[in-house]
Each structure stands twice: as structure tokens, then as C-alpha cells.
Amino acid sequence: MARSSEIGPGPTGPIFVLGSASPARLRILRAAGVEPVVRVSDVDEDALLAELPDSTPAGVVVAELARAKAEAVAALPEIAELAGSGDPVVVIGCDSMLHLDDRLLGKPHTAERAVAQWSEMRGRSADLLTGHHLIRLDRPGTAGGTGSTTIHFADADDDVIHRYVASGEPLQVAGAFTLDGLGGWLVERIEGDPSSVIGIGLPLVRTLLRDVGLSVTDFWRH
């Protein structure tokens, strides 16, 4: 039985640690039968991005951000202690960005940036890249990868864009859109893994777990 989202007395079993504050990632894992321990890293994303050479491939950028988050969470004392539990323990970090016109677009944070970004995105296609990095703590093992899904955006008019931005939803999400919220109305179609667009790719995580000697079924709730 996989351990619940709080660390402390309780059932033993494989422990899946999600190194992210994203409610969407947590929803995906819970819907897929995994109840993770949630811990958030204090990684300064802007500082890390500034350290990477301008020539760094987009897929490597999101992979490096994911790695930094996973390593930061794995180093937390209460998480590191879990390695001695005798059960499998994994930590996963994720990071998503939209690749448009050879630029990586993250969270816009402000309404002005979100409107400007949507003015560029509407009626076009872009690739949503999600980096994943998994660390196994009970024995040495790491695995990483990047999921890429092509998003075809609707040719939304100015009024729709402004009303969407006014909702606040796009301000704190990569690429200024969601697939599983209001933003879903503004996506014509996708080519690739929908769970990766929402924030954590289940097929890729399944593969990463296999690479460190585990099965996703080890973490299913019973």
C-alpha cells in the first residue's frame, strides 16, 4: 500500500513524493491511483535559467529545472530519512514551458504578459514541454525525460482573451493556458499525451519508474 500524503505514523509501503505545489499534478496522480507525499522545492527558477547557456536546447532547459526541483526535495531531512524505511521511495520533480518561435514561455504572472502571450498564440500551434526527473532514495537510481505535446490553439478574439485573462487562471500556469480548466475552451486539439500537458506525463513516469527497477502498480492504492 502506498503511503498517504502526510509523513508520520501510518501504513508502510512504497512512497511516492511529488516535488510540486501544482494542484493539477496532484489531481492527476490521485485519479491514477497514487496518493503522493507532497513537498515543494525552494528552487529559484529564474536564477537557474540565468545560469544556462543561451544555446541550451529547450528540452534540456525543462529537464534541468525538473532535476533541480527533485534534488532539492530529495535533500529535505524528512524526505531523506524515508530512505531508511526499507520500502521503495521515489521523488519526482517536473517543470513545464511552452516552446513557441524558438522561445520558452513559462508562467506569465501578470495580466499584461498573459494578454500579449495569447495574442501571439491564438490560431497557432506550439509545443508544451514537460521535464520529469525521478530519484529513487532507498537505493541509488535516477531517471529523467521530457514529454512534448503539440497544442493547436483556437483563434480566440480579443474579448475572449481578455475575459480569460481576467479569470486569473492563466497567470500562474506554464504557457498561460490549461487543458483541464477554462483554457480547454481555447484549445482546438492536441497531438500527444494530455496528462503531460496538465503537468505530469503518466506514460513517461511509468517508464521512469521501470528504469529505476519499480512498477507503477507498486504505488497504486489498495
CATH of the domain at 91: 3.90.950.10
Q: How far is CA 128 from the centre of its chain?
A: 11
Instruction: Catalogue the active-site residues.
Output: 95
Torsion of CA 23, 90, 202, 181, to 10 degrees: 0
The pLDDT value given to residue 222:
63
Residue 94 corresponds to which cell in the numbers above?
A: 517536473
Is residue 43 included in any domain, yes or no?
Answer: yes
Residues 3, 6: Cα–Cα separation, whole Å: 8
Alpha-helix runs per DSSP H in 106-214: 111-121, 158-166, 194-198, 202-211
Q: Residue 179 falls within a domain, yes or no?
A: yes
* pLDDT for the residue numbered 12: 65
Task: Record the pTM.
Answer: 0.90
The answer as to whether 221 is a domain residue is no
Give CA 69 to chain center in angstroms.
Answer: 10
Let me know if residue 24 belongs to a domain. Answer: yes
pLDDT for 110 equals 97
Residues of the chain with pLDDT under 70: 1-12, 222
Q: Let me know if residue 7 belongs to a domain.
A: no
Query: How confident is the model at residue 56, as a pLDDT?
Result: 87
In a domain, 61, yes or no: yes
How many structural domains are present in the chain?
A: 1
| Cβ contact 101:124 at 8 Å | no
Cell of 185: 475552451
Distance between CA 129 and CA 45 in Å, rounded? 16
User: Residue 15's pLDDT is what?
Assistant: 95
Check residue 169 and give its pLDDT: 96
Residue 28 falls inside a structural domain: yes
pLDDT at 42: 83
Q: Mean pLDDT across the chain, nearest whole number?
A: 91
Please report whether residue 1 resides in a domain. no
| Domain coverage including residue 103 | 15-216
